[in-house]
Structure 1
């Protein structure tokens, strides 16, 4: 056998050994996520269609939403007079406008199947935006997106079987994040505010956003952007503020609203009287604020550039995607950990951020996947049990500890982490 033939065979064998490695990068290399994202989007279209057509729709809040906006359609702008089968209207004005559109599109809310398809589109749109965020940050390996998509029964239920308003608010939130990542903070703040106007859980991201604004925009720039956040709230609420301003503010931003014990996912192991006790609520609030303060001064202050104290709006600090996502998503996650109650639809408040948060920790990869599975199991346990709620808290505590010990948080801030923009 000639030397040339032996060389050719050796080369071919070497190439054949490389092919599996080339394929593996599409599963394990965060720089090659696009292929699996495209495949999963097509798979999700099929899954959503199958869920809508093969799983029975169960009414929870959709009819109540339609009844609440029907009051506005009929000319009632006093928020204290707007209600549905589940009780009074407790969402801000953005909710009213969006679900009024759905009211008309679905024939006063009676075309349930059409509404389900619209929420399927909402779900696919949310995945597109979330995928774009993860594509920019290049941290999470491609195989993890399988757990984010087809593997979650509860998330599909929240979108296409229950049609809650929570996914609508979260879409605006994720689009806002996408704009933050491209340094378009003003547009992002507008979209963030619209998300708050649909459901105020978006405020859980506010501490992280405030700190990021102070870092990137300076003091005057932060005031400017907070004003931008306030403008949509006022404009959307004008008809209701003119009719009964105190009623609108009280009903749509009621932070002291009491939750029913039977729906709680995270505190089932407690006696009901403790769950309803105001001192328990105050304790959770204190713990929430304390942990936020600790992360702000012990972690974010170390990880991010110094707060921009400039009074000029011409000088801005540009952050890397990780520097934006980590404080922003962590802020929301801390709020989830110390929430007075988590209901099943609240899962969507942090579901799409969990994968990023876990892969920002030094927890072993098997442990990360295990936590994702346990969290999913807890949210799929209906009704919740003492054990399921305890396991959920254990998972939350593990992730929170992992974030505290995150390699990014432990690293000393480098002056090269931020770039000054002209």
Structure 2
């Protein structure tokens, strides 16, 4: 080989080595943390960290009894043959959740030695937590809405969410687990399966109904009137089947207790309205005002949601053809925008309901914590400002008991997010 050729080969080798090093650096800094191609790696790494963290919490942090014992007492009544909701109660009061709650926590009752094996229950809820994380990560990977580093704010940084799952074992995260499963099914066009999971989530806790206005619109735009009627029938039928033993025993008791929309929460537990005087908080007119504001906000977003969901329906119709064409050319189909068009209305509808809620308790944080990054990255705030909002919200939810300042700041953050979503509706799906 000639001397000139050898020199050229050596130069090429050095160039390739330098390129490889630069590429690795680019991957570790830019792609891993900031590029959407790093979402899968980041999600996998965080999931492994969460397994270790969950085990550590269960074994090293003291469990706090709040509602678990009452849950077990409530379902024990059913186990003993009582199906009259007026007769089912625990130390914290009567059973006020629909039938799905009874079935889920009856299973837990048997798996945990009638509720006595607390550590076993905690490990089961750790499994729930990890499953929720997988479902949420899948949503974020499908939408490519946030950079990979933001996924850490969905899990590792939240003390309150870990507490709700592992140290308190409320029913709220169980309901959200089925809700996120339903959203994944809807995104994959499994409408009937999604409706079953959605309805089952409602049967565990009624806060899931906050998604209903946007979901109804999604049914109408994607499936038409006939398809919508079918999906509503699926949802209703599951509710009837689950509730049948209780309805046959005392239908009035079941409906009044399981779907009590007029329940008034205690002022001492409120996280969002602590800065109000108690006489105003319990005033019926205040509750009506919040309901009116809720309805007005839903109407204000209606036309935009309709455009989003109509676009989602059209893109879904051509998605299969695109996949076939791209498969032949061995290229991948990026349908992240399609997923965004569906999720933004649902997450926004839920957020509006929470912002207008009569009272938020600490466990209610799980109702929207996993969707907050999605909403914040749907408006043109700076990344620094978005992260500040996430941090402030986490701090507000960790102040116990809530104070005038923490509750006021929480509501201000809610208003900022609502303002951003409303004033930048046309830009929300472009990033």
How far apart are residue 11 of structure 1 and its match?
4.9
Question: Is 1:284–2:290 an aligned residue pair?
Answer: yes
Aligned 8 A contact 1:284 1:338 in 2: yes
2:235 to 224, 229, 232: 229
How has the CA–CA distance of structure 1 residues 266 and 317 changed in structure 2, closer, same or farther, with 3 Å as cutoff? farther
Q: Which residue of 2 aligns with 1:389?
A: 407
How has the CA–CA distance of structure 1 residues 138 and 302 changed in structure 2, closer, same or farther, with 3 Å as cutoff? same
User: Secondary structure at 2:203's aligned position in 1?
Assistant: helix
Aligned 8 A contact 2:178 2:197 in 1: yes
Question: Is 1:108–2:114 an aligned residue pair?
Answer: yes
Q: Which residue of 2 aligns with 1:38?
A: 44
1:63 to 58, 66, 69: 69
How has the CA–CA distance of structure 1 residues 107 and 21 changed in structure 2, closer, same or farther, with 3 Å as cutoff? same
Cα RMSD (Å) of the superposition?
Answer: 2.0
Question: Is 1:88–2:106 an aligned residue pair?
Answer: no
Q: Which residue of 1 aligns with 2:368?
A: 350
User: Secondary structure at 1:33's aligned position in 2?
Assistant: helix
> Paired residues, what number?
405
How has the CA–CA distance of structure 1 residues 163 and 19 changed in structure 2, closer, same or farther, with 3 Å as cutoff? same
Q: Which residue of 2 aligns with 1:157?
A: 163
Aligned 8 A contact 1:133 1:178 in 2: yes
Q: Which residue of 2 aligns with 1:302?
A: 307
How far apart are residue 17 of structure 1 and its match?
3.1
Aligned 8 A contact 2:308 2:342 in 1: no
How far apart are residue 345 of structure 1 and its match?
0.2
Q: Which residue of 2 aligns with 1:239?
A: 245
How has the CA–CA distance of structure 1 residues 187 and 138 changed in structure 2, closer, same or farther, with 3 Å as cutoff? same
Q: Distance in 2 between matches of 1:336 and 1:114?
A: 32
Aligned 8 A contact 1:265 1:341 in 2: yes
Q: Which residue of 2 aligns with 1:205?
A: 211
How far apart are residue 305 of structure 1 and its match?
2.0
Question: Is 1:175–2:181 an aligned residue pair?
Answer: yes
User: Secondary structure at 1:265's aligned position in 2?
Assistant: coil
Instruction: Give per-residue Cα distances to partners, 1:17-63, cap 9 Å, x unaligned.
Output: 33321222011112321111111111111111111111111100000
Q: Which residue of 1 aligns with 2:326?
A: none
Gaps of 5+ in 1: 309-314, 413-422
Aligned 8 A contact 2:217 2:306 in 1: no
Q: Which residue of 2 aligns with 1:420?
A: none
**TM-score with structure 1 length normalisation?**
0.92
Runs of 4+ in 1 over 6 A off after TM superposition: 315-319
Question: Is 1:125–2:143 an aligned residue pair?
Answer: no
Q: Distance in 1 between matches of 2:429 and 2:196?
A: 33
Q: Which residue of 1 aligns with 2:351?
A: 333
Aligned 8 A contact 2:217 2:309 in 1: no
User: Secondary structure at 2:310's aligned position in 1?
Assistant: coil
How far apart are residue 13 of structure 1 and its match?
3.7
2:142 to 132, 136, 139: 136
Q: Distance in 2 between matches of 1:214 and 1:129?
A: 25
Gaps of 5+ in 2: 320-336
Q: Distance in 2 between matches of 1:375 and 1:410?
A: 21
Q: Which moved more, 1:233-242 or 1:140-149?
A: 140-149
Aligned 8 A contact 1:216 1:317 in 2: no
Flag the structure with higher helix content: 2
Q: Which moved more, 1:323-332 or 1:20-29?
A: 20-29
How has the CA–CA distance of structure 1 residues 11 and 409 changed in structure 2, closer, same or farther, with 3 Å as cutoff? closer
Aligned 8 A contact 1:214 1:307 in 2: no
User: Secondary structure at 1:339's aligned position in 2?
Assistant: coil
**TM-score with structure 2 length normalisation?**
0.90
Q: Which residue of 2 aligns with 1:417?
A: none
How far apart are residue 140 of structure 1 and its match?
1.1
1:17 to 19, 22, 41: 22
Q: Distance in 2 between matches of 1:411 and 1:110?
A: 48
Aligned 8 A contact 1:403 1:409 in 2: no
Instruction: Give per-residue Cα distances to partners, 1:121-168, cap 9 Å, x unaligned.
Output: 110111111111111111111101111111110000000100000011
How far apart are residue 405 of structure 1 and its match?
2.8
Q: Distance in 1 between matches of 2:202 and 2:309?
A: 26
How far apart are residue 306 of structure 1 and its match?
7.5
How has the CA–CA distance of structure 1 residues 171 and 377 changed in structure 2, closer, same or farther, with 3 Å as cutoff? same
Aligned 8 A contact 1:217 1:316 in 2: no
How far apart are residue 358 of structure 1 and its match?
1.0
Q: Which residue of 2 aligns with 1:324?
A: 342
How has the CA–CA distance of structure 1 residues 108 and 317 changed in structure 2, closer, same or farther, with 3 Å as cutoff? farther
Aligned 8 A contact 1:58 1:161 in 2: yes
Q: Which residue of 1 aligns with 2:391?
A: 373
